[in-house]
Structure 1
């Protein structure tokens, strides 16, 4: 009989993993070149379920097997220590780790705001205007390189303000300054600069809320717009502190994820010109001489959607997720590296770690996973895979509430930019992924932008 986590497991197999180190696992991660590479090595050596040391969490169980992800998807608790870096943004309790009883109603309210397709269509014209304004600025770059992450995260912030903040956000938010302030707050450094940035973010959000409260009073007889986050929070009787926290976290998550997803997609297209040409041909066929799609055109841009999804497979905007087992869990049907099935037990209190990047690189579900192949997302190919083999927006009750909205924003942005421009990598610049709150690129992703015409 073996023992894991203080629980006798009898006939249950011990979860495989490397030897314990006194440094809590930090050295192994550093030696591998980062947590992502460490996870890839662990799962290649030990199979789809691995016990390992995760700094900040102690014992953790990493899962890259989609069948196991499905068995753990119902868990609705997150390990507080791994999300403590968001605490400066939350005065009424860290929204990323609030308990299931409180999280459920809060999530339902967010889904009402973000998940409605009619509201996406209602705001689509605003999105088009914002993207075309950004395209005009790039068109005037005069052949100089543009910084994709810097500009596209700012654009995404403007879009979420237009959508979720009742039309007031764009009037009081300086997108570039807000993006920079979030970077400082999340840097992990403490001191005057971080506090100044946090104060700036809070005062900005307070101005947005104050403007929306005034218009909400005028609209009270008509009822709240279901796509207006602040209006919905006010109508639900949410406390002022929780409203501010929710707006802060929404602005952070929405501008980071969509902006980096589009950035990585353009990065890949710049390195695969044959794919970019096929996207351009589809855009010319669907849009003709028009510079931007209508909402209904998005469903006709099937190859563009495949390209975006394959990009998010290779570079998932949020590279990791985590849950905390609230009770002893038994997972079975696991196939290890030796091909033998097994049954494992995860004790209550264990951090269950989801390395989405490793899930997306699992060769059992993605042949030659390192290659960029949009055809992986044809309807036929998707039907043959486990739905948990592709989880760019997370899974279960803690998955991203704004996933649908994010896809609309990303597809529209790509359509407008690729209809108008070609993108070429800057010679000599190495694009290096950095594992942070989102999958960022160190030193940005500079690209040379040149105009294209229909048929070019």
Structure 2
């Protein structure tokens, strides 16, 4: 049976993706029109198939090959080969080593202050702006996200973290700007020179940190670089692994927190429940301890529902190495298979009224009713995000710090429009009014200003 989809275009699908506003919205449109399995054109893929049904996704969950042409733009960042597309025999032990650190409670607990300390510093800055001009949440929170992952990946050993962050932003602007054709000021030769200089500086910083670990015999398994050294990875691969960890996490936490605050600003009753839970669990403390996170059950549900509605990474891609049966269809070898996270999360067969913000979808009882792949904000299978647990820990820590101290309301007249920029971004940031909250009187304040 032929897979349904739009008629082929002479431009290879570029125009259709552009007119839809990006690949993520194009996939939403395709699945709304053609059903759960869609064939479409995409530059960099001879044949592309998108699968938005969680039951059918199970047949693709084993795929362990990424389409190399779609990730070519990242190749210059790495010296030991593009880690985003490394062969399965290399990827499996490398992934196992990363998971031993990134997914482990000892690592999260040991480094927890590296998340709450910069989050508290941001809260202090927001306190100075409170009640005045709207704040640009994505700008502030993605800077925070990068600061946290730099501290985590480098073990807090970078002598000039601000310079590291500036250099990484320079590199990201050069490579992601090229991918998404984002205009960057200055002559091209100058931009390329700045990016190369920044990349060389980052590699030098990581090398210094690795050398310090080696000379000090630091082999703590909760430390990323220490675990890589103990695992026998060569210096260049350690450097590339740190770079890819920073790349994967550079915006994820900040974007997830931004969308969560945006949704809470539109739903003050949910924001009030979060505030009450924080007051109950944290008491007079302004920041959580690691052990507090497991008691913040409603905040966790709010974050998960926010990531359903606005998954930071809106899709993943794999490549079949042999023919694959997918329901009524046979997918030939060499096909690019897309996992459209956003379209899966909007599937009304598994998410009634999918556009509504309903954190209670994530109670244990409700979650048990859905197929396991109905919710995939971090992807699926052997190429899913190794840092998923770390990202959730970071996001909950930041949300707890901010929502304990502030109320966030939408800036009047500001329209928030999702667009694709490697992550699910907002076209003109997410601008919100920030005001201090007094623990225990959130409901009274909300009634007073008419926001309930």
TM-score with structure 1 setting the length: 0.90
Contact 1:166/1:212 (8 A) holds in 2: no
- Cα distance in 2 between the residues matched to 1:192 and 1:270: 42
Structure 1 residue 271 displacement after superposition: 1.6
Q: For 1:256, which of 251, 268, 273 is the aligned residue? A: 251
Query: Would you say 1:138 and 2:134 are equivalent positions?
Result: no
Is 1:164 the equivalent of 2:153?
yes
Deviation, 1:348, is: 0.5
Q: Residues 88 and 18 of structure 1: is their aligned pair in 2 closer, same or farther, counting only changes over 3 Å?
A: same
Match in the other structure for 2:197: 199
- Alpha-carbon shift at residue 361 of structure 1 (Å): 0.6
Query: Does the 8 Å contact 1:206/1:244 carry over to 2?
Result: no
Q: Point out 4+ residue stretches in structure 1 off by more than 3 angstroms.
A: 169-176
Contact 1:260 1:439 in 2 (8 A): yes
Cα 1:139–1:176, aligned 2, differ >3 Å: closer, same or farther?
farther
> How far apart, CA to CA, are the structure 1 residues paired with 2:192 and 2:345?
34
User: Residue by residue, what CA displacement relative to the aligned partner does 1:201-234 show, whole Å, maximum 9, x if unpaired?
Assistant: 33134223313412431125xxx11122222223
- For 1:114 and 1:365, locate their aligned partners in 2 and report how far apart those are by CA, in whole Å: 30
The count of residues paired between Structure 1 and Structure 2 equals: 431
Taking the aligned partners of 1:191 and 1:385, their CA distance within structure 2 comes to: 52
TM-score (norm 2): 0.91
Structure 2 gaps of 5+ residues are 182-187, 442-452
The match for 1:214 is: 212
Shift of 1:171: 4.2
The residue that corresponds to 1:242 in the other structure is: 237
Per-residue deviation, residues 46-80 of structure 1 (Å, max 9, x unmatched): 21111111122121111001011111000000001
Higher mean alpha-carbon deviation, 406-415 vs 49-58, is at: 49-58
Q: Are 1:440 and 2:428 an aligned pair?
A: no
Map of 1:122 onto structure 2:
110
2:339 match: secondary structure: strand
Contact kept, 8 Å, 2:150 with 2:165, in 1: the verdict is no
**What stretches of structure 1 of length at least 5 have no aligned partner?**
1-12, 333-342
Equivalent of 2:50 in 57, 62, 79:
62
Cα drift, residue 93 of structure 1: 1.1
Structure 1 position 370, deviation (Å): 1.0
Report what 1:376 is aligned to.
361
The more displaced of 301-310 and 168-177 is 168-177
CA RMSD in angstroms comes to: 1.8
Q: CA deviation at 1:302?
A: 0.8
Is the contact between residue 66 and residue 389 of structure 1 (CA under 8 Å) also seen in structure 2?
yes
Structure 1's 145 and 128: CA in aligned 2 closer, same or farther, altered over 3 A? same
Of 129, 154, 162, the match for 2:143: 154
352-361 vs 187-196, which moves further:
187-196
Listed one character per residue, the Cα deviations across residues 132-181 of structure 1 (whole Å, up to 9, x for unaligned) are: 11111111125232221222122122222332322313744436524531
Q: Distance in 1 between matches of 2:381 and 2:233?
A: 25
Q: C-alpha distance in 2, partners of 1:146/1:437? A: 23
Is the contact between residue 115 and residue 148 of structure 2 (CA under 8 Å) also seen in structure 1?
yes
Separation of aligned partners in 1, 2:242 and 2:376: 25
Q: Is the 8 A contact 1:164 1:227 kept in 2?
A: no
2:450 counterpart residue number: none
- Structure 1 residues 157 and 33: alpha-carbon distance in aligned structure 2, compared to 1, 3 A threshold: closer
2:272 counterpart residue number? 277
Aligned to 1:187, what secondary structure does the other structure show?
helix
Preserved CA contact (<8 Å) 1:50 1:63: yes
Partners of 1:253 and 1:125 lie apart in 2 by 21
| Counterpart for residue 74 of structure 2 | 86
CA distance in 2, matches of 1:360, 1:183: 29
